[in-house]
Amino acid sequence: MTHRFKTRLEQALARGNYDALLDLVPYAKLIGVECTRLGDELLFRLPANKDNIGNPILPALHGGVIAGFMELSAAMHLLVSTGAPSLPKIIDFSLDYLRAGQFRDTYAKCQVWRQGRRVANVAITAWQSTPAEPIATARAHFKIEDLARP
């Protein structure tokens, strides 16, 4: 783990402010991903931004932006929940689009379903109005550093 990464992770965990971690991923900054802690959970937010529109007629968010937002949310959630020594590497990502992502704020929550020594599975749900009406769900598999190794 680089000293800079370790310092940012420790500060983010201590302060509950994850901006410095998101800054490590240029795409997160480009699309505007934000993260806040609500109790024991992390809530990810993708603010409405005209640059993220894929269909200007509806207008609707670009599917790739939704996918990128959800993948980044899963990686950050895993990083924060495990205190991993580096950003986890994506192995597989499977996404189900359930309804159009309208031009408004989008939210995501993640849950780690299984974590082994080297692989973790994360479920992601994204919504706009209410969590009961998701716009997309996804499953991500990540390769993580073996936390038991020195």
- Tell me the Ramachandran region of residue 95: left when phi exceeds 0, alpha when psi lies from -120 to 50, beta otherwise: beta
Question: Strand (E) positions, the chain?
Answer: 34-38, 41-46, 53-55, 60-61, 89-97, 106-115, 119-127, 134-143
Instruction: Tell me the percentage of the chain whose pLDDT exceeds 90.
Output: 66
The domain locations on the chain are 3-143
| DSSP conformation class of 87 | P
Q: What is the mean pLDDT of residues 123-139?
A: 97
Convert the pLDDT of each residue in 77-121 to its tens digit.
998 888 777 788 999 999 999 999 999 999 999 999 877 778 999
For the question of whether the overall pTM of this predicted structure is more than 0.75, the answer is yes
**CATH class, range 3-143:** alpha beta
Please state, rounded to an integer, the average pLDDT across all residues of the chain.
90
